[in-house]
Chain A
C-alpha cells in the first residue's frame, strides 16, 4: 500500500494505537508509511478515521501500542521522554489547527521559544533568526505584538515560523487551514508549499479539504484507522 521512498525521513512500521478502556478504541491499525525528504503529504479521511492520531504518533507526541516509528532510520520506541522531547525539538515542527501561541508572549518570543529550549544558538543568533523568519513570512512589523493583536491568518503564520525555528526537516500540520477563511487558508497553503519547494522541507498535513489535498504531492487516505489509499500526485523534486 505504501509508496516506495528512498532514504525515508520518517517511517511508521506496522503501527497500531489502541486507547485502553472498558471498551478499547482502535485509533490507528497496522499502518505502514514511509515519507522521504522534500515531500508534501496530505493525510485525509473522514472524522474519526485516525488522521490526527497518526500525525501525533509520527510526531512522537503519542506512543504506538504496537509497531514502531523511525526518524531518519532511528527507532524511537526505546527513547525516554527526555529524548523524545529533544527529538521533537530538533527534528520536528508542529502547526495545529488553532495557532496555539502562548498568549502572554510577544510574536517574537513565541518564535524564539523552541530556539531557547534547544539552546543551539547564541542570544544574538536566535534573535537574528527570529527576525529573519518573521520578516520572510511578512510579519516583520508585528514582532512585538501579542498574538491577540493579530488576525487568524497572521497567527497561523507565526505558528509556522515557530515550527521552523530550529530548522527541522519535517513539519507536521494538523488541519493548518481548518480555522481560517479562504483567503488566509490560501496564504497558509502557499506558505507550506514554499517550505517544500523553496526550503526543501517535508510537510505532512492532515486536512479535511480534499481540494487542498489534491494540490499536495502525495495523498494518504485513512478509513477506520487503516490506510486505504497512498498515491503520489507528482514526483518530488
Chain B
C-alpha cells in the first residue's frame, strides 16, 4: 500500500499548479455546498421553530373527521350510507375539564382550553377579519409563548378591564389602535361587543401577528353566545416533533379531530422537501462540475505517465496496483479539496452571518444559518465519491494500457 501511496503522492506533488486547480475546484464545490446547505437548513429550522412557538403543537377541535356510523352500518356489513344531513348539535367539546384532566394524565406536555371565534374588529373606520381566541391566562403559558411575546403589558392585563383584548402588533398597526383604545368586535351572527386594548403581542410570524387577538375565555363565550363553550383544546408537547403520533392518540381517545402542527402546515412541509431536493440537486451539480477538474488532472497524469505505466507493468506491477495509484491520486485531490472546502464553507457561513437585512415576513435581521456536521460530512463524502469516480475511468484506462505498444513507441 505504501508503494501505491508513494507513487501517487510523487505524481501529485510533481504537478503543483495543475493539482492546485483541481483541488480548488473541489474546494469551491464543497465550500459553496456547505454554505448553501447551512442557509437552506438554517432558514427551514428557523421557520419551523417560529411556527412551533407561535402556534399550539396540537389543536383539538370540536369536529369529527368522519361522521359517526349509522346504526344500519353497524348492524349490516353491506349497508353504506352517504349524504346525510348532519345532526344539529350543541357546539363545543363535551365536558372539556374532564377531557383535559384525562389528557394531562398521560400527555408529555401541557393542555389549555380556548374558545375560538371569527370576528371583525372595527376601529377608526377599519374593519379587519380576526381570529379571536378566548383563553385562560393562567394556563396559556403551558401551551404557547404568548406570555413571553407580550409587548407593553403582561397577559394578566386581560383581567384588568371588562372585555379586555390583546392584539397582534401588526393587527394593531393595521387598524391604528394603541394600548387603551376601545374597539368593537362583531361576529357573523350579529353579536357585537366593545373591548379595550390592554396589550400587544409579537409572535414573529406575520400571519399570526396580523390576524389574531386574545381575550378571556369568558369574553369569547359571550361573543360565541354560548356560556361555558370550549371549542378548542390546545396542546404543547415537550417534543414538538412527536406531535403527529400524540395527535393520533388524542383523536383515538376523544373522537375529536386533533390537528398536529405538521398537519396544519403540510403544504409548507411539502415545500421544504421540494426545497431540499432542489438544494441537493444544485449541490450535486456543483460537485459534479468540480469532479471534471479531477477527471482532467488524472487524465493528464495518466497521459503524461504512459511510459512509466508501461515500465511499472513490465516490472510486474499488476493492473490493480496501477489502477489503484491513479484512483488514490484522485482520492488525494478529493480529500485535499474537501478539507479546504470545509474551511471555505465555514468562512462563507461566517461571512453570510454578518450580513444584515430586513425581512418583511420575519423580524430577524440576520440570515439564519445552521452549522451542522452532517453538511460537512455530506459535501465531503460527495466530493470524495465524485473525485474517485472521476479518477476511476482514466485510471482504468491507464491500467489496461498495453506496455509493449508504449515501449515500442518510446524506443
Chain A residues proximal to chain B, CB less than 8 Å: 52, 56, 59, 61-62, 81-82, 85-90, 92, 94, 96-98, 100-105, 109, 113-114, 116-118, 162, 174-175
The smallest beta-carbon distance between A233 and chain B, in angstroms, is 27
Q: Chain A residues near B321 (CB, 8 Å)?
A: 117
Residues 296-336 of chain B, each 1 if its beta carbon lies under 8 Å from chain A, else 0: 00000000000110111111111111000000000000000
Contact (Cβ within 8 A) B318 A104: no
**6 CB-based A-B contacts, threshold 8 Å:** A90-B316, A96-B407, A101-B311, A114-B315, A116-B3, A117-B315
Bound: A52/B407 CA distance, A: 10
A59 and B314 contacting across the interface, CB-CB below 8 Å: yes
Contacts of B3 in A (CB 8 A): 113, 116-117
* Cβ–Cβ contact A82 & B411, under 8 A: no
Q: Do A105 and B10 have beta carbons less than 8 Å apart?
A: yes
The 8 A-B pairs at the shortest CB distance, nearest first, are namely A89-B316, A88-B316, A85-B318, A116-B3, A100-B311, A104-B10, A56-B404, A85-B316
- Those of B366-411 within 8 Å (CB) of chain A: 402-404, 407-408, 410-411
Given contacts A96-B411, A175-B411, contact A88 B14 (CB under 8 A): no
A162 to B316, CA, bound (A): 12
A235 to B35, CA, bound (A): 78
Please tell me if B2 contacts chain A, counting CB pairs below 8 Å.
yes
B407 contacts which chain A residues (CB < 8 A)?
Answer: 56, 61, 96, 100, 174
- The residue of chain A having its C-beta at the shortest distance from the C-beta of B399 within the complex is A81
Query: Are A100 and B2 neighbours in the complex by a CB distance under 8 Å?
Result: no
Assess whether A88 is in contact with B411, with CB atoms less than 8 Å apart.
no
Given A52-B408, A62-B404, A96-B411, are A117 and B308 also a contact pair (CB < 8 Å)?
no
CB–CB B307/A61 < 8 A: no
Q: A56-B404, A82-B319, A104-B14 are in contact. Are A97 and B314 (CB under 8 A)?
A: no
Query: Judging by beta carbons under 8 Å apart, are A85 and B311 in contact?
Result: no
* Docked CA distance A175–B408 (Å): 12
Contacts of A82 in B (CB 8 A): 318-320
Residues of chain B within 8 A (CB-CB) of A86 are: 316, 318
Known contacts A61-B314, A85-B318, A100-B310; 17 additional CB pairs below 8 A are A61-B407, A85-B319, A88-B315, A88-B316, A98-B411, A100-B311, A100-B410, A101-B311, A102-B308, A102-B312, A103-B308, A105-B10, A114-B316, A117-B3, A117-B315, A117-B317, A174-B407
> B142 on the interface (CB 8 Å rule)?
no
Q: When chains A and B are docked, how far (Å) is the Cα of A114 from the Cα of B314? A: 10
Q: Which chain A residues lie closer than 8 Å to B310 at the CB level? A: 100
Q: How far is the CA of A97 from the CA of B409 in the complex (A)?
A: 12
- B11 interface residue (CB < 8 Å to A): yes
**Contacting residues, chain B, for A90 (C-beta < 8 A):** 316
Looking at the complex, which one of A87, A89, A97, A103 makes contact with B411 (CB distance below 8 Å)?
A97
Contacting residues of chain B (160-178) with chain A, CB-CB under 8 angstroms: none
B402 partner residues in chain A, CB cutoff 8 A? 62
Given A88-B314, A102-B311, A117-B315, verify A61-B403 contact (CB < 8 Å): yes
Distance in angstroms between the alpha carbons of A61 and B317 in the assembled complex: 12
For the complex, what is the distance from the CA of A179 to the CA of B321, rounded to whole Å? 30
Least CB distance from B325 to A in Å reads 11
Q: In the docked arrangement, what's the CA distance between A144 and B404, Å?
A: 30
Given A56-B404, A62-B404, CB of A81 within 8 Å of CB of B318: yes
Which A residue sits closest to B411, measured CB to CB? A97
| Given A97-B411, A98-B411, A100-B410, also A162-B314 (CB < 8 A) | no
User: B403 — nearest CB in chain A belongs to which residue?
Assistant: A61
User: Is A118 within 8 A of B316, CB to CB?
Assistant: yes
CB distance from B317 to the nearest CB of A (A): 5
Residues of A within 8 A of B319 (CB): 81-82, 85
A100 & B316 in contact (Cβ 8 Å cutoff): no
- Give Cα A61–Cα B313 distance, bound, in whole angstroms: 8
The distance from the CB of A182 to the nearest CB of chain B, in whole angstroms, is 20
Closest partner residue, chain A, to B311 (CB atom): A100
| Structural contact, A94 and B411, CB atoms closer than 8 A | no
Q: A59 — which chain B residues lie within 8 A by C-beta? A: 314
When distances are taken between beta carbons in the complex, the residues of chain A under 8 Å from B404 are 56, 61-62
B11 touches A104 (CB 8 A): yes
A85 to B321 alpha-carbon distance, docked (Å): 10
Q: How far is the CA of A92 from the CA of B411 in the complex (A)?
A: 21
Q: Which residues of B contact A113 (CB under 8 A)?
A: 3, 312, 315
Closest to A172 in B: B314
Quote the shortest CB–CB distance from B249 to chain A (angstroms): 62
Least CB separation from B11: chain A residue = A104
A174 proximity list for chain B (CB < 8 A): 407, 411
A101 partner residues in chain B, CB cutoff 8 A: 311
Q: Cβ of B6: which chain A residues have Cβ within 8 Å of it?
A: 109
Q: How far is the CA of A237 from the CA of B312 in the complex (A)?
A: 33
Write the B1-16 contact mask toward A (1 if CB under 8 angstroms, else 0). Answer: 0110011001100100
C-alpha spacing A97/B6, complex, angstroms: 26
How near does chain A come to B300, taking the closest CB pair, in angstroms?
A: 15
Given the interface pairs A86-B318, A113-B315, A162-B315, the reply to whether A100 lies near B307 with Cβ below 8 Å is: yes
How long is the Cα–Cα vector from A86 to B314 in the complex, in angstroms?
11
| Residues from chain A with Cβ under 8 Å of B320 in the complex | 82
Contact B14 A94 (CB under 8 A): no
How distant is B175 from chain A, measured CB to nearest CB, in Å?
79
